[in-house]
Every structure is written in structure tokens, then in C-alpha cells.
Amino acid sequence: MPLPSMTSSQPMNCHLMKTTKNLFFESDCILTLGDGNFTFSRYLYQSFKCKIIATDVVDNHKSNSLIKDNREYLIDNGHNVYLGVDATKLEEYPLLMCRNDISYIIFNFPHVLTKKMKIGLNRQLLKEFFESAQRFIGDKSIKVMVSLCSGQSGVNDIEETDRKWSDSWQLPEMATNGNFVIIDYNDFIEKR
């Protein structure tokens, strides 16, 4: 899965990275957005031993043992888990805005909850996320990553796909709304 990453330099940069043993360090603090069952956040902590602030837009998860187990695991290991966090309005969350330790923001497979297959709505979601990320980051040095499925970004030269631009999420264009540009791209390698 591609993982775009952006930084807050002028202009803000976007780069997609391959996870390796040295991608994240124990001193890093990662804000994950849209991590519905918190398995990704748990994986990040178990793999890299970094600080995690896990969030999801849904504020009242139904009883699900996987979600409950992952939330409890993260909390028991000293991490924060917040529900009801809208990635398009990050600057509206004082508990996040006051954090000066965040080194990465990862938006995990963003999609509109009610109409997942509506590509125009998903582009709008990315656009609003990048705008919000720019306001949230301000002058902080935070890298921003967005995980997408192969072919979704619209960067065919990098993804080696023939997908039409009009049939993609148009990541480079959506990123410019927050002053981000893609500076690197690699596949995200899942730990096996």
C-alpha cells in the first residue's frame, strides 16, 4: 500500500515512504487518523516502539472485541486513543493542538464513511485534510503520510499503473490545497 508522507517545510512537502526498521524511532510520536479498529496503531507501536496517538472519526464504536482489545492494549501501554476526531478539522481539537511532540501524522486509508466508492467525495476529503493539516502543523516540523491502495494516488509513473487521472484520488493536486507536494514515494511493506 502506498504511504505518502509530507513535511511542513516551505512549501510543505509530501513523500511516500517504504517502512523499514529505521522508518520510525522510539523518540517519535505518531498521530494516526482514521484507524477504525486500531490495528495499524498497535502495529506501529509493536514494530517501532514509538509513542502513538490513535484516533478514529467514529465516536461510538459498536461492541467489537478487536477494537476493544486494541484500544485497551494501546491505553495500557501508555498511548492516547481518541474517538470522534475529524481529520478535516484537526485544529479544532485542543488535546491535539497542544501537543508539541508529534513528529508524524498518518491518515490511514482515508475514505468517506457513507459513500466509500464516490471518488469525488474522497478527493474532497483529501483536499480538506491537507488544508486542515497545514493549519494544524503551522510552523511545527511534522511529516504527514497518507496510506492509499495501489493506483489510487494518480501518480502513475511511480505506481506503475495505467489508471486514468480522472479515475484516481489525484493526490498531488489535493495535496497542493494544503501547500504540500510529493517528494518521495515507496510501498508500505507489511510486517509478516
Q: Residue 181: its pLDDT value, please?
A: 85
Q: How far apart are CA 181 and CA 184, in angstroms?
A: 9
Q: Classify domain 5-184 by CATH number.
A: 3.40.50.150
pTM for the structure as a whole: 0.85
Dihedral, 176, 6, 169, 166 alpha carbons, nearest 10: 50
Q: Can you name the residues that pair with 48 across neighbouring β-strands?
A: none
Q: CA 165 to CA 34: how far, in whole Å?
A: 25
Helix 39-48 with 65-76: angle, nearest 10 deg: 40
Share of the chain above pLDDT 90, in %: 58
pLDDT in tens, 136-190: 999 999 999 998 888 888 887 777 778 888 988 899 999 999 999 887 776 665 5
Give domain limits for the chain: 5-184
The per-residue pLDDT for 13 is: 40
- Sort strands 80-83 and 51-56 into parallel, antiparallel or unpaired: parallel
Whether residue 108 is predicted with pLDDT greater than 60 in this model: the reply is yes
**In which band, very low, low, confident or very high, does the pLDDT at 41 lie, cut at 50, 70 and 90?**
very high
